[in-house]
Each structure stands twice: as C-alpha cells, then as structure tokens.
C-alpha cells in the first residue's frame, strides 16, 4: 500500500473507480443497451431495404432488357409492314401508270385516226367541190 501512497493513489481513487463502474453498468443497461438494440434493428431493416432495393434494381434491369428486346422485335415487324406496303404501293403505282399510258396511247391513236379520217373526208369534199368552184369562177370571169 505504500506504493499506492507514493503514487498519490488513495481511497478516493478506489471510490471513483467504484462509482465509474456503477455508472458504466447503469449507462450500459439504460442508455447503451437500448441504443445498441435500436441500431441493430435499424441495420436489420436497412439491410432488408438494401436487399429489396437490389432485388428491384435487378428486376428493373431484366425488365429493361425485355423491353428493349420487344421494342426491337416490334420495330422489325413495323419495318416489315412498311416495306411490304411500300412495295405494294410501288406495284400499284406502276400498274396505274402503265394503264394510264396504254389508255392515253389508245386515245391518241383513236384521235389521230379520227383526225386523219376527217382530213381525208375534207380533202375529198374539197376535190369534189373544186370543179364546181372552178366553174363558178370561170363563169364570173367570163360574164
């Protein structure tokens, strides 16, 4: 005990140590215990939330890849439909143009034939009237 006295440690230090131990036990039971329990509960809930968030993130990645796949398929189907409609429209256009050309050629041919017939008829009529006109002119000149 002499050593303790030389170091300046007396019964007050022992009393302080006992009071510290009592305060530590009291605080660990009243304050630190519930705090540790609440912290563990929070971590447990947070960990569950993290797992849930990770699961939702994985689901969202899966859904996004599925969405992209379906979008590509839909785009290819739409492209196929558009290409088919374009080719059909081109065929229809070419058929209509060919039909219009043939009808216009037929109309031109028919009109040329009518015009030629009218010209020949007019020429024949003029030939038939030429003698009558020539006679009329000569009679007028000779009178």
Residue 46 has pLDDT above 80, yes or no: no
Asked, for residue 108, whether it belongs to a domain, the answer is no
User: Phi-psi category of 80—alpha, beta or left, where left has phi over 0 and alpha has psi -120 to 50?
Assistant: alpha
Residue 1 has pLDDT above 70, yes or no: no
Instruction: Count how many domains the chain has.
Output: 1
Asked, for residue 130, whether it belongs to a domain, the answer is no
- The pLDDT-based confidence of 49 (bands split at 50, 70, 90) is confident
Task: Domain of residue 56: give its range.
Answer: 2-101
Asked, for residue 84, whether it belongs to a domain, the answer is yes
Asked, for residue 125, whether it belongs to a domain, the answer is no
Helix/strand/coil for 143: coil
- The pLDDT-based confidence of 6 (bands split at 50, 70, 90) is confident
Provide mean pLDDT across the span 54-75: 95
Asked, for residue 128, whether it belongs to a domain, the answer is no
76-102 confidence digits (pLDDT tens):
999 999 999 999 999 999 999 999 999
Asked, for residue 10, whether it belongs to a domain, the answer is yes
Provide mean pLDDT across the span 66-75: 96
pTM: 0.45
């Amino acid at each position: 005990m002499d050593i303790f006295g030389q170091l300046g440690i007396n019964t007050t230090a022992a009393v302080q140590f006992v009071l510290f131990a009592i305060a530590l036990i009291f605080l660990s039971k009243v304050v630190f215990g519930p705090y540790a329990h609440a912290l563990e509960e929070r971590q447990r809930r947070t960990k569950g939330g993290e797992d849930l968030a990770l699961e939702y993130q994985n689901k969202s990645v899966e859904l996004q890849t599925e969405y992209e796949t379906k979008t590509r398929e839909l785009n290819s189907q739409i492209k196929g439909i558009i290409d088919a409609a374009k080719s059909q429209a081109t065929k229809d256009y070419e058929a209509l143009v060919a039909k219009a050309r043939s009808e216009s050629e037929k109309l031109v041919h028919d009109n040329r034939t009518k015009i030629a017939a009218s010209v020949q008829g007019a020429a024949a009529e003029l030939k038939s009237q030429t003698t009558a006109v020539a006679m009329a002119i000569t009679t007028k000149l000779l009178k």
